[in-house]
Amino acid sequence: MASRYRIGQDPDYVPLGRRLLLLNWTLVLLLTILSCIGFAMLYSAANGSLQPWAERQMMRFVAGLVFMILIALTDVRIWLKMSYAAYVVSLILLVAVEIKGDIGMGAQRWINLGFFQLQPSELMKISLVLALARYFHGLTIEETGRIPLLIPPLLMVLAPAALVLRQPDLGTALLLIAGGGVIFWLAGVRMWKFGVILGGALAAIPIGWQFLRDYQKNRVLTFLNPENDPLGAGYHITQSKIALGSGGLFGKGFMLGSQSHLNFLPEKQTDFIFTMLGEEFGLVGGIALLLLYTLVIVYGYVIALRCANQFGRLVAIGITTTFFLYVFINIAMVMGLIPVVGVPLPLVSYGGTVMMTILVSFGLLMSISIHRDVRISRQGNDDGRH
């Protein structure tokens, strides 16, 4: 089958020069601006020093950017072909860390490759979107209405979610389920079926509660009543709200956030970096960042809606929604709207793995954008128009 993509025989082939032209440079710029805001905040978090965070984050971004563009320039059909394989590999790695985690102590979420700590759950976030998109790409609208055909994709979501939840990583599990659910929804699965699943899930909460670790239970309880435990788990949320609120309209100024710099704010370089931004740049700074994220999300939707193939559309929405969920969960958490779950602010929070996941997924998004006119048959062939 590989012979079908040979130059000259493929009517949808996009030459490299044209791919570079079609590459969504505005999106690249937006991502770069977001990352630069991150560098500035990490510089501030280190009290005016590139060490230990800002410099390493810059190096990761540059490496990730190159990687992103390479992925973007690759034909989307290659990603389609690789989607199931990627999913299987990710699942095996997840099981591997699970076994390793059982041997080791507590929550172990990564595999040490020496030069790089691979987090299979991050890999799974992309692989699951690809695999589900691949699956629904192959179904007609009628077929998506048939319950037996919905069982395999449901298992595809639940298997990694269960593994991640066992690690335990509530945040990632929720991201996987929400990201997967969105693809079900856009593929055309009926509304009432979601209702059944949701109802079942709600009924399972009391059972699932028993499987949560104590610290996870505490997080939920603390969220429900943060003042209950002002010096313990609720301390983070309380201090975060104080930092944000005291920032006011225009903030206290770059590197002048008292809550952040006097260490009242925990994890200011990772999960609570938005709080520091809000403290130092106020409502104006926070809204500006939110607008930048909104622009990126709008771009994702535009790419999805302009895409001619179902696979690309579903992947684009899956990636955009995952990105949205990162942004929403993180900001809602630091503002005390939802419980504390360990979800970073994409591109701004310090951390190599998440930055890599985001840039890789945007590479895929741009690949879809470049190859938006490629038509792909439900069987995964390019002969759809015949």
Partner 1 sequence: MWHRDSDRYRMFTRRAIMLGAGQGVLLTGLAARMYYLQVMERDRYATLADDNRISHRLLPPPRGIVTDRFGAPLAINRQNYHILIVREQSPDVRKTLTILSQVIEIAPETIDRVEEDVKRRRSFVPVTVRDNLTWDEVARVGVNAPDLPGIIIDAGRSRDYPEGPHLAHTLGYVAAVAEKDLTGDPLLELPGFRIGKSGIEKTYDMSLRGRAGTSQVEVNALGRVIRELDREEGESGETVVLTLDIELQRYANQRLSEYESAAAVVMDVYNGDVLAMSSHPTYDPNSFTNGISHKLWDSLINNEYAPLSNKAVNGTYAPGSTFKTCVALAALEAGVITPEQRFFCPGHLDLGNARFHCWKRGGHGWVNLHDSLKHSCDVYYYEVSQKLGIDKIAAMAKRMGLGDPTGIDLPSERGGLMPTREWKETQLGKRWQGGETLICSIGQGYVLATPLQLATMTARLASGRAVTPHLTRDHVAPDDITARSDTEFPDLGIPRQHLNYVRDGMNGVTNELRGTAYRSRIKIKGLEMAGKTGTSQVRRISMHERQTGVLKNEELPWKYRDHALFIAFAPVENPRYACAVVVEHGGSGSGVAAPIARDLLTRAQELKSSRPGVSAVNIQSASQILRTSSKKQES
Task: Decide whether 61 or 324 has the Cβ nearer to partner 1.
Answer: 324
Q: Count the neighbouring beta carbons within 10 Å of the beta carbon of residue 47.
A: 9
Q: Are 368 and 312 in contact (CB under 8 A)?
A: yes
Query: For residues 343 and 333, what is the distance between their CA atoms, to the nearest angstrom?
Result: 9
* Minimum CB distance to partner 1 smaller for 111 or for 338: 338
Query: Do residues 97 and 108 make contact, with C-beta atoms less than 8 angstroms apart?
Result: yes
Nearest to 80 by CA among 323, 382, 384: 382
The span of 20-28, 75-83, 160-168, 257-265 binding partner 1 (CB under 8 A) equals 257-265
Q: Please report where in the chains the tokens 């993509």 appear, as a residue.
A: 5
Among 90, 259, 349, 357, binds partner 1 (CB under 8 A): 259
Listed ranges 71-79, 210-218, 308-316, 353-361: which one lies at the site for partner 1 (CB under 8 A): 308-316
Q: Which of residues 362-381 bind partner 1 (CB under 8 A)?
A: 377-378
Among the residues of the chain, which ranges form H helices?
Answer: 16-22, 25-45, 54-73, 76-103, 120-137, 147-166, 170-187, 191-211, 214-224, 234-247, 258-261, 273-306, 310-334, 352-370
What DSSP line would sit under 305-364, residue for residue?
Answer: HH-SSHHHHHHHHHHHHHHHHHHHHHHHHHTTSS-------TTTSS-HHHHHHHHHHHHH
Q: Is 190 in the site for partner 1 (CB under 8 A)?
A: no
Return the H-helix or E-strand segment holding 111. strand 111-112
Q: How many residues bind partner 1 (CB under 8 A)?
A: 52
Number of residues that make up the chain: 386
**Least Cβ distance, residue 241 to partner 1 (angstroms):** 6
80/304 with CB nearer partner 1: 304
Under the binding rule (CB under 8 A), the answer on residue 101 touching partner 1 is: no
Binder of partner 1 out of 16, 141, 205, 231 (CB under 8 A): 141
CB 253 within 8 A of CB 224: no
Using the minimum distance from each CB to partner 1, give the nearer residue, 16 or 249: 249
Closest separation between CB of residue 117 and partner 1, Å? Answer: 29
Cβ atoms of 327 and 178 within 8 Å: the answer is no
CB–CB of 156/87 below 8 Å?
Answer: yes
User: 20 or 290: whose CB is closer to partner 1?
Assistant: 290
Q: Are 283 and 21 in contact (CB under 8 A)?
A: no
Q: Which stretch binds partner 1 (CB under 8 A): 12-20, 88-96, 169-177, 181-189?
A: 181-189
| Nearer residue to partner 1 within complex by CB, 179 or 351 | 179
Residue 293 contacts partner 1 per CB under 8 A? yes
For partner 1, which is the closer residue by CB, 51 or 381?
Answer: 381
**Window of 28-36, 65-73, 100-108, 293-301 that interacts with partner 1 by CB under 8 A:** 293-301
278 makes contact with partner 1 (CB under 8 A): yes
Longest dimension (CA), the chain: 69
Q: Which of 124, 128, 163, 243 binds partner 1 (CB under 8 A)?
A: 243
Pick the binder of partner 1 from 79, 272, 324, 350 (CB under 8 A). Answer: 324
- Binding footprint of partner 1 on the chain (CB under 8 A): 140-141, 182, 185-188, 239, 241-249, 258-259, 261-264, 278, 282-283, 286-287, 290, 293-294, 297-298, 301, 304-305, 310, 313-314, 317, 321, 324, 327-328, 331-332, 335, 337, 377-378, 384-385
